[in-house]
Structure 1
Amino acid sequence: MPKIRAEKKSRVHGQIQQGIHFKKEFGQHILKNPLVIQGIVDKAAIRPTDTVLEIGPGTGNMTMKMVDKCKKIVACEVDVRMVAELQKRIQGTPAASKVQFIVGDVLKTDLPFFDICVANMPYQISSPFVFKLLLHRPFFRCAVLMFQREFAQRLVAKPGDKLYCRLSVNTQLLATVDHLMKVGKNNFKPPPQVESSVVRIEPKVPPPPINFQEWDGLVRVVFVRKNKTLSAGFRSSAVMDMLEKNYKVHCSVNSIPVPPDMDVKEKVLEILTESGYAEKRARTLDVDDFLAILNAFNSAGFHFC
């Protein structure tokens, strides 16, 4: 009787599979379909000389498919129980010498050198991890990552698409992103509440020679109201105050006198009009458009960070 009560208590917080209690707070959904796992590994095109970074290896289903194809796997796992499970799985096999573990939160961990990243991502860290990955140096060759379906669709969305957003623009500035496959929820144990997709991310080398923080500041401003014209979006007092403050800092640093009668609102609308973007809407603009807008503002001494 005590054993039955203990098992029921565990099931309140997660699923029990082969003695493992999956924790929802870690977003643990183990990919169990070997055909899907093989498809992801094949899409990664791993070379014998590659170091593979695997995020969230769980019980090692994907790890075991990759280990014979590469030089080394660096497995980053936050759950020490999963680390122990995978260590038991590879103990006494040739894989044991090829798998290195990093135990901890990947968002708080300095990533090592790697050629390829492969991951069944915990969905709650998708966005911050993508940008941690894209800002990582030295450059890696590609990443093949599993995400919640809608998040993946946002990554690949094009101007005019319903899901086109700040995430789409920022990612596509730094990388080429392709949708590879859809993965149904029943391919996982326990099944998540949403459908999933696998994408391939390939960094642009070299990256555009811009300050990414400033770029993101511009994109953040225009996507607050992505369906309104840029001239309407820039009229908010918060945006005007930020641009005026940054302009005065720019002038001070560069010993440029600020005209006493300068009207910031008028100047901003003038920049948008002369660059041809005053009546454009954020949802229709691509990366090149945003680069042109940022250049127009910077040339006039206005900055977004």
Structure 2
Amino acid sequence: MAKRPGTHIPRKRFGQNFLVDQGVIDRIANAIGIQEGEHLVEIGPGQGALTERLAPTGCRLDVIELDRDLVAGLLAAFSIYPGFKLHSADALKFDFSSLAEDGRPLRVVGNLPYNISTPLIFKLLENAAIIQDMHFMLQLEVVERLAAQPGGKAWGRLGIMAQYHCQVEHLFDVPPAAFNPPPKVQSAIVRLTPWRASPWSQCEESELRKVVQAAFAQRRKTLRNNLKGLIDGAALEALGIDPGCRAETLQLSQFIEIANAVNEQT
């Protein structure tokens, strides 16, 4: 087993909270269920706590680390594994399609910094066609939004777009004490598995994003008000949707119907 990088003071500007609880690390590795020959991508390996479980499995492992102070230690610890490759880069700017040239789908994992988790997930959803699944440590609130159902405050743009692309599973929660330094929020592990046979009707994704963003722009307002300029009340009624209701009451399938109607109008 490789020796992990040594002491590193977590940096607030990178949103660093290093996972140190071995029981939680084992549970994450077991949830991922790595098989020899698979292609894994770890975002933000930090001090290599999870990398230590991934690298010896015989998989191809690309890790993406922004903090250059961690790079030398990661290379020293894990370069002994032939499938290991480190990319000193910002995951938000990284070209994930460049890793899929061997034809193997990517299995993406990571303890995502809370300050970039939502934009990074949206970026990865754009690459869903080349991804087998994703396992992430996120702020519990973000996982609840990803896995939300209509009718609650957590239901919104993130959950709708994630569920349009993926099956979302909230696997288990992780307490602050599992990290150094302990964050001020609860965390959770989520699995996102891109649909191979989608349960949803197809639509122009750009229209769906536009409709959802507008519908939730002011949550307390009705669909009639928020979607003004995209679709009128009569057209909503023709779809069987009450223009006087709020966006949080609609099913994903209804947002898809609205997006298709808007697309037909243009």
Question: Fold-level match, TM-score > 0.5?
Answer: yes
2:263 match = 298
CA-CA distance at 1:221 after TM superposition:
1.1
How much has 1:206 moved relative to structure 2? 5.4
2:95 corresponds to: 110
Task: Tell me whether 190-199 or 271-280 shows the greater mean CA deviation.
Answer: 271-280
Aligned partner (choices 37, 50, 73) of residue 61 of structure 2? 73
Instruction: Tell me which amino acid in the other structure corresponds to 2:257.
Output: A
Q: Tell me the SS of whatever aligns to 1:199.
A: strand
Matched, 1:232 2:225: yes
Which of residues 270, 279, 284 in structure 1 aligns to 2:244? 279
TM-score between the two structures when normalised by the length of structure 1 = 0.78
Of 2, 16, 29, which residue of structure 1 is paired with 2:17?
29
Contact 2:204 2:260 in 1 (8 A): no
Provide the C-alpha distance between the structure 2 equivalents of 1:109 and 1:232, rounded to a whole number of angstroms.
Answer: 38
Alpha-carbon shift at residue 115 of structure 1 (Å)? 2.5
Question: C-alpha displacement at 1:289, in angstroms?
Answer: 0.7
Contact 2:204/2:259, CA 8 A, preserved across alignment:
no
TM-score (norm 2): 0.88
* 8 A Cα contact 1:160 1:283, kept in partner: yes
Please tell me whether the aligned partners of residues 52 and 70 of structure 1 are also in contact (alpha carbons under 8 angstroms). no
Residue of 153, 157, 170 corresponding to 2:161: 170
Contact 2:62 2:87 in 1 (8 A): yes
Identity percentage of aligned residues? 31
Is 1:20–2:5 an aligned residue pair?
no
Which structure 1 segments of 5+ residues have no match? 1-16, 244-266
Distance 1:219 1:162 in 2: 15
Conserved 8 A contact 1:46-1:116:
no
- C-alpha distance in 2 between matches for 1:184 and 1:138: 33
Query: Partner residue of 2:187?
Result: 196
Whether the 8 Å contact between 1:46 and 1:70 is mirrored in structure 2 is no
- Distance, in Å, in 1 between the alignment partners of 2:23 and 2:168 is 23
Q: Does 1:214 align with 2:207?
A: yes
- Shift of the 19–68 alpha-carbon distance from structure 1 to 2, 3 Å rule, reads closer
Counterpart amino acid of residue 274 in structure 1: A
Structure number, greater radius of gyration: 1
Q: Secondary structure at the match of 1:141?
A: strand
For 1:74-132, what per-residue CA distance to the aligned partner results, in whole angstroms no more than 9, with x for missing partners?
000001221111122235x4x2x221011110111111225211100011111111111
Aligned letter for 1:74? D
Give the drift of 1:210. 2.8
Report the CA distance between 1:271 and its aligned residue.
0.7
State the one-letter code of the partner of 1:166.
R
Question: Are 1:156 and 2:150 counterparts?
Answer: no
Question: Within 1, Cα distance between the matches of 2:90 and 2:49?
Answer: 20
Deviation track 1:12-47 (CA, whole Å, cap 9, x = no partner) reads xxxxx9542221111111100111011111111211
1:260 is matched with which residue? none
From the superposition, tell whether residues 137 and 151 of structure 1 become closer, same or farther in structure 2 (CA, over 3 Å).
closer
CA contact under 8 A between 1:225 and 1:233: conserved in structure 2? yes
The residue number in structure 2 matching 1:4 is none
Deviation by residue 1:221-263 (Cα, 9 ceiling, x = unmatched)? 11123344322333xxxx42xx4xxxxxxxxxxxxxxxxxxxx
| 3-state SS of paired residue (1:200) | strand
The structural deviation recorded for 1:138 is 4.2
- 8 A contact 2:110–2:136 mirrored in 1: yes
Q: Structure 1's 138 and 164: CA in aligned 2 closer, same or farther, altered over 3 A?
A: closer
Alpha-carbon RMSD across the aligned residues, in angstroms, is 1.9
- Within a 5 Å distance, the mapping from 1:70-109 to structure 2 comes to 70-90=58-78, 93=80, 95=81, 97-109=82-94
Which amino acid is the alignment partner of residue 222 of structure 1?
A
**2: CA distance, partners of 1:55 / 1:163:** 26
CA distance in 2, matches of 1:298, 1:90: 50
Q: Distance in 2 between matches of 1:231 and 1:90?
A: 56
Query: Which amino acid in 2 is paired with 1:130?
Result: I
Kindly indicate whether the alpha-carbon contact (under 8 Å) linking 1:54 and 1:119 is maintained by their aligned counterparts in 2. Answer: yes
